[in-house]
């Protein structure tokens, strides 16, 4: 390493030693090795000049992960909606290294996808139930979902897409809304959208505000609403369509208006399922039988027991991690246009902190939005939220929530936000981040924490306080990742897993830390915790069909393990 480079590092990062700078180089080289290996091992092996990539690869053998359909046919899974963190890594890597090949590969992927996999309506053939088979380059999809379009907390990197093909990107976002808004007058949305749908009035549609939790056939899940909100906001930013922002904020507000008036908690849905049939079978959780929370909890907890009001593990991650990070990013990029989004998001995080967080145990309480604590509650009947006899337990406040509260502090310093971040940081082995603003901190530089979310959170704390000690701690977390979550240049959550996910966020976190240490934060896209997925019917080794199988279940398999029946129909 040249002396001039060391001098530059010292001038940028006074408190960092030469050892830390060497570790910085190790971080960057690990991400470069990852990107090179992904391009090589996950690349198309069957055709020439095709930039598409497989979603998963066995780091030991190079075998690309396959989906097994109910009829026994297989496909090499390539779902571009589940590779959007990777795209951000590739471009960020070029920005930091000056090597344009990584950015070019990302751009080529976007361009190829628009050229080959955009349907006549403008929708892309990707998402929860559509992907490309790398062996044939043909779109595939499980028949039981009728090959519908679905995005849930995916957050495609529209900045890159607009840069590559602005008209095609705008066309997709308009088609996305056109397909997923079933009734514009009442803003009835659904996670499932129809391909090939003729374009309607879109932003010129008439709207009439409905009461909270009105009944609809479409299910207004927040994880699907998030992607609609994000896409329309980005369309406004890149194409100046004011109607897009109006409807994005209108949809975001639908999840705010039904919040409990006392607690401010909620909501995961702003509608409830329209009851269209009767059943006495508690195990059949089809939404046509009405709101599933009301069916399972209503007899004991009354009319407040609705799906939208269930503050349970998983739902709260969507509310206070994925939604919060996305909307805080919008609030920052939109400026004054995003002030209402900012307020809604911060108010929600404060309510969750006040009512759900237990600092003593670093856990969140399972709750109803009205404040009812469901900790240690035993389910009296089968249903959507578990089998009879299941006990609802408080769940750990993880690093993803630490990131939400650290990110919130960067936009609006608030003592209660800091208190939660401080408690979670202690609970996650990071030491004491100190009093609000970082005073008197006692960071644990021997931490065993190896979570990428922690790195992103510590970068935010450094940004908001100017205390480089947080970057020193992030550097230790990065060391732990390099020591425990790498295998043959791939990043993998558990080295015993068969397949590595090319969209793993560990290299993203390492690259963001590299950018922070170089004083070039803008070189890497802000992390907003998006992740695509694939779900459908999958043929098990015993010849039975497993419905509602998700790719993340395949990614967690270890040698000798098989997927087990999940009882879903």
Looking at residue 172, which CATH number applies to its domain? Answer: 1.50.10.20
- pLDDT at residue 556, rounded to an integer: 98
Q: How confident is residue 566, by pLDDT bands cut at 50, 70 and 90?
A: confident
185 and 324 part of one domain? yes
DSSP, res 319? I
For residue 5, pLDDT beyond 90:
no
- Asked, for residue 200, whether it belongs to a domain, the answer is yes
- Which of 342, 373, 408 finishes a domain? 342
For residue 2, pLDDT beyond 50:
no
Which residue is listed with tokens 């976007």? 110
Q: How confident is residue 567, by pLDDT bands cut at 50, 70 and 90?
A: confident
Give the Cβ contact number of residue 377 at 10 Å. 16
- pLDDT at residue 143, rounded to an integer: 57
For residue 6, pLDDT beyond 70:
no
Please list, residue by residue across 86-123, b when 16 or more beta carbons sit within 10 angstroms of its beta carbon and e when fewer do. bbbbbbbbbbbbeeeebbebbbebbebbbeebbbebbb
What DSSP element (H or E) covers 547?
A: strand 545-550
123 and 224 part of one domain? no
192 and 299 part of one domain? yes
**CA–CA dist 183, 494 (Å, integer):** 44
- pLDDT at residue 369, rounded to an integer: 99
- pLDDT at residue 524, rounded to an integer: 99
- Asked, for residue 301, whether it belongs to a domain, the answer is yes
Cα distances (Å, whole numbers) of residue 330 to 65, 339, 396, 526 = 35, 9, 28, 11
- In total, the chain counts a number of residues equal to 569
- Asked, for residue 544, whether it belongs to a domain, the answer is yes
- pLDDT at residue 3, rounded to an integer: 36
Domains held by the chain: number: 2
Can you tell me the mean pLDDT for 32-58? 98
52 and 200 part of one domain? no
- pLDDT at residue 127, rounded to an integer: 97
Of 15-19, 298-302, 426-430, 487-491, where does mean pLDDT reach its minimum?
Answer: 15-19
Contacts of 558 (CB under 8 A, 6+ apart): 494, 496, 497, 498
157 and 222 part of one domain? yes
**CA–CA dist 536, 563 (Å, integer):** 13
Can you tell me the mean pLDDT for 290-305? 98
109 and 245 part of one domain? no
- Confidence (pTM): 0.94
- Asked, for residue 392, whether it belongs to a domain, the answer is no
74 and 109 part of one domain? yes
10 and 86 part of one domain? yes
| Averaged confidence pLDDT in the chain | 95
Sign of CA dihedral 513, 514, 519, 520: negative
CB-based contact 426:455 (threshold 8 Å): no
Structural domain range at position 154: 148-342
Q: How confident is residue 16, by pLDDT bands cut at 50, 70 and 90?
A: very low
- pLDDT at residue 11, rounded to an integer: 42
- pLDDT at residue 10, rounded to an integer: 36
Q: How confident is residue 141, by pLDDT bands cut at 50, 70 and 90?
A: confident
- Pick 203 or 567 by higher pLDDT: 203
Q: How confident is residue 162, by pLDDT bands cut at 50, 70 and 90?
A: very high
In the Cβ-directed half-sphere of 237, how many Cα atoms lie within 13 Å?
21
- Asked, for residue 14, whether it belongs to a domain, the answer is yes
Return the closest-CA partner of residue 490 out of 35, 12, 1: 35
79 and 194 part of one domain? no
- pLDDT at residue 145, rounded to an integer: 53
Q: What is the largest CA-CA distance in the chain?
A: 76
95 and 203 part of one domain? no
pLDDT digits (tens, 9 = 90+) for 88-105: 999 999 999 999 999 999
**CA–CA dist 131, 117 (Å, integer):** 10
- Percent with pLDDT over 90 in the chain: 93
219 and 260 part of one domain? yes
Which residue is listed with tokens 């091992």? 41
Of 216-225, 347-356, 391-400, 480-489, where does mean pLDDT reach its minimum?
Answer: 216-225
- Asked, for residue 363, whether it belongs to a domain, the answer is no
- Asked, for residue 113, whether it belongs to a domain, the answer is yes
- pLDDT at residue 144, rounded to an integer: 52
161 and 222 part of one domain? yes
Which residue is listed with tokens 């496909």? 75
- Which of 290, 310, 342 finishes a domain? 342
- pLDDT at residue 104, rounded to an integer: 99
Can you tell me the mean pLDDT for 150-161? 98
- Asked, for residue 370, whether it belongs to a domain, the answer is no
- Which of 297, 316, 342 finishes a domain? 342
For residue 382, pLDDT beyond 70:
yes
Can you tell me the mean pLDDT for 415-439? 98
- pLDDT at residue 320, rounded to an integer: 98
**CA–CA dist 121, 193 (Å, integer):** 11
For residue 9, pLDDT beyond 80:
no
CB-based contact 540:565 (threshold 8 Å): yes
DSSP, res 2? -
Q: How confident is residue 467, by pLDDT bands cut at 50, 70 and 90?
A: very high
CA angle 537, 539, 545 (to 5 degrees): 65
């Amino acid at each position: 390493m040249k002396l001039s480079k060391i001098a530059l590092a010292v001038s940028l990062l006074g408190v960092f030693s030469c050892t830390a700078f060497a570790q910085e180089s190790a971080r960057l080289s690990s991400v470069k090795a990852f990107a090179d290996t992904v391009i090589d091992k996950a690349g198309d092996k069957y055709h020439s000049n095709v930039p598409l990539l497989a979603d998963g690869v066995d780091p030991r053998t190079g075998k690309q992960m396959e989906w097994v359909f109910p009829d026994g046919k297989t496909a090499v899974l390539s779902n571009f909606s589940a590779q959007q963190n990777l795209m951000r890594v590739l471009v960020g890597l070029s920005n930091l290294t000056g090597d344009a090949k990584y950015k070019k590969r990302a751009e080529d992927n976007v361009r190829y996808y628009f050229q080959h996999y955009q349907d006549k309506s403008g929708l892309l053939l990707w998402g929860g139930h559509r992907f490309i088979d790398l062996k044939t380059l043909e779109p595939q999809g499980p028949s039981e979902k009728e090959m519908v379009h679905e995005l849930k907390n995916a957050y495609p990197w529209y900045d890159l897409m607009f840069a590559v093909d602005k008209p095609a990107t705008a066309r997709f976002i308009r088609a996305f809304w056109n397909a997923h808004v079933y009734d514009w007058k009442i803003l009835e949305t659904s996670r499932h959208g129809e391909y090939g749908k003729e374009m309607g009035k879109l932003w010129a549609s008439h709207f009439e505000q409905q009461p909270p939790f009105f009944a609809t056939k479409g299910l207004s899940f927040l994880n699907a609403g998030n992607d609609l909100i994000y896409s329309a906001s980005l369309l406004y930013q890149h194409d100046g369509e004011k109607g897009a922002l109006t409807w994005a904020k209108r949809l975001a507000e639908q999840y705010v208006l039904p919040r409990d008036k006392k607690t401010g908690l909620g909501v995961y849905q702003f509608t409830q399922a329209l009851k269209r049939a009767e059943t006495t079978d508690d195990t059949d959780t089809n939404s046509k039988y009405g709101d599933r929370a009301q069916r399972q909890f209503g007899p004991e907890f009354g009319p407040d027991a609705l799906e939208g009001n269930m503050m349970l593990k998983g739902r709260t991650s969507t509310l206070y991690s994925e939604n919060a990070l996305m909307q805080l990013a919008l609030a920052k990029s939109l400026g004054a246009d995003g002030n209402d989004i900012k307020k809604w998001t911060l108010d929600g995080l404060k309510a969750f902190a006040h009512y759900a967080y237990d600092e003593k145990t670093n856990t969140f309480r399972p709750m109803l939005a009205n404040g009812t604590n469901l900790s240690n509650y035993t389910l009296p009947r089968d249903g959507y939220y578990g089998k009879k006899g299941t006990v609802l337990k408080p769940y750990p406040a993880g690093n993803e929530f630490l990131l939400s509260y650290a990110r919130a502090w960067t936009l609006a310093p608030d003592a209660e936000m800091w208190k939660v971040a401080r408690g979670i940081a202690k609970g996650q082995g990071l030491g004491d981040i100190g009093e609000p603003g970082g005073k008197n901190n006692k960071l644990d530089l021997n931490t065993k924490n190896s979570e990428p979310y922690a790195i992103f959170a510590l970068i935010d704390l450094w940004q908001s306080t100017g205390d480089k000690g947080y970057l020193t701690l992030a550097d230790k977390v990065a060391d732990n990742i390099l020591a425990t979550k790498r295998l043959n240049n791939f990043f993998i959550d558990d080295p015993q897993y068969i397949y590595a996910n090319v969209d793993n966020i560990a290299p993203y976190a390492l690259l963001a830390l590299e950018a922070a240490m170089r004083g070039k934060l803008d070189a890497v896209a802000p992390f907003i915790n998006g992740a695509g997925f694939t779900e459908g019917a999958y043929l098990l080794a015993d010849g039975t069909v497993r419905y509602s199988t998700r790719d993340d279940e395949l990614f967690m398999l270890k040698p000798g393990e098989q997927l087990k029946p999940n009882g879903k129909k």
